[in-house]
Amino acid sequence: MGGTVVRAGQPYSVDGSPITAKQQLVLGQAAFARTDDGTTIMAIDGRAGGTPVDVWDGDGSYWTAAGTGSATPGSKHTGTNGWDTGVTAEGNNTRFDGGADQDIAGTYSELTFWVQPKAYPPTSSLQVWWRNAAQTSIGNIVRVSDYTTNMDLDVWQKVTIPIADFGLTGDVDKIIIRYNNTAGQHYWFDNFQLVPPGGGGPYRFLVEAPDASSIYHVSMAVLVVSAPATGWSSTSFADIVGGLANGLIFRHRRKSTSEVLWALNSKDNVDLFGRYHPQDDITFSNGEMLVGFMVKPGLATVQVTNDDVLEFVVRDDLSGLTTARAYAHFGIEVIS
């Protein structure tokens, strides 16, 4: 006698040992929940909406620019001057100094500026963070590449960073831009502004595991939108809301440190369909058309816990949509 006792319906691994219930992946689906009130309505106006306050634009007497680079007419986006970094060494930085500490986190929703990469060698990392008047770094370092669709050379790109992403824990007075990881980077900058809330956005929608005893292994993320079928299709999503000027961010983030593990930013149809797979559109009898978009990560590469979350950040006006929802499909690993 002896050997493994086989029970009907009992799953077994390749070595013949029984797989326990805690080892099995239970399939499920979770909606991305809005973090401020728990709803899952994404068809809202996610713009900050307040009147922008100039930080630096090369013309007025606003914040003081210092460090790597200089103001030149040739590097402007608008107005008289822009900021030309020249070719940078690894670790160089440019600073914009407000002259005194102020409550940025409590006053503003977004930092915006324009950048035109002139040279962006492999492994380049254009980073932004804040210091106070005592030169102490406050909050998180963020990567500009997480807020743009790409870093195309010789193309002006608007960058919109939610102030919340910096995780500021005190008053600050300096914006620091660092050219990290490699030498030979070169940029033009212009039109730095701080935007008050006003419209209420940006809005965050996230999926997290409910507790520390489970891990979600994400197999697919799905974005579903619907609107009146008036001249748009599954290939023209961005057109129905006049384009996504700031970009719809989909990312994997660590809550405890605010570190962004990876991010996709879609601003137009090329960006959207280059990153997502559109599904067949459905037109209903009431004239509404629904389209689904999906992302399938590599097997077991996206793990969501109560700390590592999947997140959509809406920074544009999606109120022209009838509905917008996002869901994560997953298998649950229970940790004994």
The answer to whether the beta carbons of residues 172 and 138 sit under 8 Å apart is: yes
Tens of pLDDT, residue by residue over 284-322, are 888 888 888 888 886 558 899 999 999 999 998 888 888
Domain residue ranges in the chain: 21-47+201-334, 53-195
Q: Are strands 203-207 and 33-34 parallel, antiparallel or unpaired?
A: antiparallel
pLDDT of residue 331: 85
d(CA 152, CA 200): 31
Q: Which architecture, in CATH terms, is 53-195?
A: Sandwich (2.60)
- The H-or-E segment that residue 227 falls in is strand 214-228
Give the single-character DSSP code of 119.
E
* Sheet of 64-67, strands arranged across: 64-67, 93-102, 172-180, 125-131, 137-143
Q: Is 207 left (phi over 0), alpha (psi -120 to 50) or beta?
A: beta
Backbone angles phi, psi at 319, to 5 degrees: -70, -15
Report the C-alpha gap between 250 and 20 in whole angstroms. 34
pLDDT of residue 158: 93
CB 188 within 8 A of CB 177: no
How distant, in Å, are the alpha carbons of 3, 126, 151 from that of 179? 63, 5, 14
| Per-residue pLDDT, 239 | 63
Question: Is residue 58 helix, strand or coil?
Answer: coil
pLDDT at 147: 94
pLDDT at position 14, please? Answer: 52
Query: What does the pLDDT look like over 121-178, one tens digit per residue?
Result: 999 999 999 999 999 999 999 999 999 988 999 999 999 999 999 999 999 999 999 9
pLDDT in tens, 20-42: 555 556 778 999 999 988 888 89
Question: Burial of 103 by CB count in 10 Å (0-12 exposed, 13-18 middle, 19+ buried)?
Answer: exposed
Chain centroid to CA 313: 6
Cα separation, 335 vs 213, in Å, equals 5
Distance between CA atoms of residues 193 and 53, nearest Å: 5
Structure tokens at 150: 């790409």
Answer CATH for 21-47+201-334 from 3.40.1710, 1.10.3470, 3.30.70, 2.60.120: 2.60.120
Determine the Cα–Cα distance for residues 123 and 107; give it in Å rounded to an integer: 34
Q: What is the per-residue pLDDT for 72? A: 97
Residues β-bridged to residue 66:
95
What is the model's pLDDT at position 17? 63
Compute the distance between CA of residue 334 and CA of residue 202 in angstroms, rounded to an integer: 34
Rounded Cα distance between 24 and 206, Å, is 25
**Token duo for residue 266:** 């879609």
**Is 195 in contact with 3 (CB distance < 8 Å)?**
no
